[in-house]
Amino acid sequence: MQITLNSPLDMHLHLRDEAMLQIVAPLSAHSFAAAIVMPNLVPPVTSIEAVKAYKERIITAIGEEHFTPLMTLFFQDNYDYDFLKEAKKQITAIKLYPAGITTNSEGGVSGIDSESLKMTLDAMSRLDIPLLIHGESNGFVMDREKEFVPVYEELAQNFPDLTIIMEHITTKASVEALNRHKNLYATITLHHLLITLDDVAGGMLEPHLFCKPIAKRPEDREALLDAALQAHPKVMFGSDSAPHPQHAKESCGCAAGVFTAPIALPVLAELFASHNKLENLQAFVSDNAQKIYNFTPEKKNVVLEDKPSLVPAIYDTVVPMYAGKEIGWSITSVS
């Protein structure tokens, strides 16, 4: 069995910087036509100059690969219309992090509500700049995303012209919210389609499956899987591939993030084929995102085949999901 994906897109990707950027950027650039690149560097990307400089570093790192980095700004509540009008020439979206909720988010927003964020969100609405949100509260870890859903809904109601992306959703509650508001959309990761909390901590702790938001219950995974397999028009693939050095993952202070970039497309093909939904994979990994973002990517054909392949144990210093294991599909060509 074989499938050709046209211009696959990763709508939520961490490329990091410096040495890590050199390791991971070519791996995404090889099989994806474009990706939304997260801005939570140290320091975060908050200026037009920083966006330009980071994009140049990415372009240098990918070498000869044909790949478009879609840049983002780290949300600030004092971005005004004039600044964002100029920034729009360089960015695709703006990413909002609740303060301290995940990796490198200390400079995020402390209170998320329509009134305190009004200046920036009004300007984004007028300029048609999408808002990407890492949606978690500071509550009990398994309830954080569910507790954040009312915040999504309040923003969606008060800024009806603002495109709001619920990033890397993990709960049934988030899937249900999609259908209640016309301007709410979502990304779903590969790993959240496959694992639950039991896979992370049900037996021996699996540090390379630990991420934020953490994997949830079986019924949550089933809701995500159903939305993806049916190619729900408001859902798109975003890997949230988040590399950390092996020593930072296999430690008492385990860093949050699952590295899936090199295996994402073959494992997705295997997953969709196992559910007899391979015909919907194109929409999940590209077509829906093109419509939501009104974006036409560079043409890139990725051919996948149901031929087993072995996942490397490590990419330089980064351990991938399924390290050292055989997966059922392979990328046979990219053109």
DSSP string, 213-260: SPP--HHHHHHHHHHHHTT-TTEEE---B----HHHHSSTT----B--
Please, are residues 127 and 81 in contact by the beta-carbon 8 Å criterion?
yes
Catalytic residue among 240, 287, 306, 316: 240
Cis peptide before 312 (omega within 30 of 0): no
**Rounded to whole angstroms, how far apart are CA atoms 127 and 81?**
8
Residue 270: CA atoms inside 13 Å, Cβ hemisphere, count? 18
C-alpha 328: how far from chain center = 24
**Helices in the chain by DSSP H: which ranges?**
18-31, 48-62, 81-87, 118-127, 144-158, 172-178, 190-194, 197-201, 218-229, 246-249, 264-274, 281-282, 288-293
**Contacts of residue 128, Cβ cutoff 8 Å, sequence gap at least 6:** 161, 163
Does the active-site annotation cover 240?
yes
Write the burial class of residue 303 (CB in 10 Å: 0-12 exposed, 13-18 middle, 19+ buried).
middle
**Contacts of residue 310, Cβ cutoff 8 Å, sequence gap at least 6:** 324, 325, 326
The b-or-e profile of 37-64 (16+ CB within 10 A means b, else e) is bbbbbeebbbebebbeebbebbeebbee
**Rounded to whole angstroms, how far apart are CA atoms 264 and 231?**
17
**Rounded to whole angstroms, how far apart are CA atoms 65 and 35?**
13
Which two tokens mark 322? Answer: 């399924």
**Rounded to whole angstroms, how far apart are CA atoms 1 and 307?**
8
Catalytic positions, please? 240
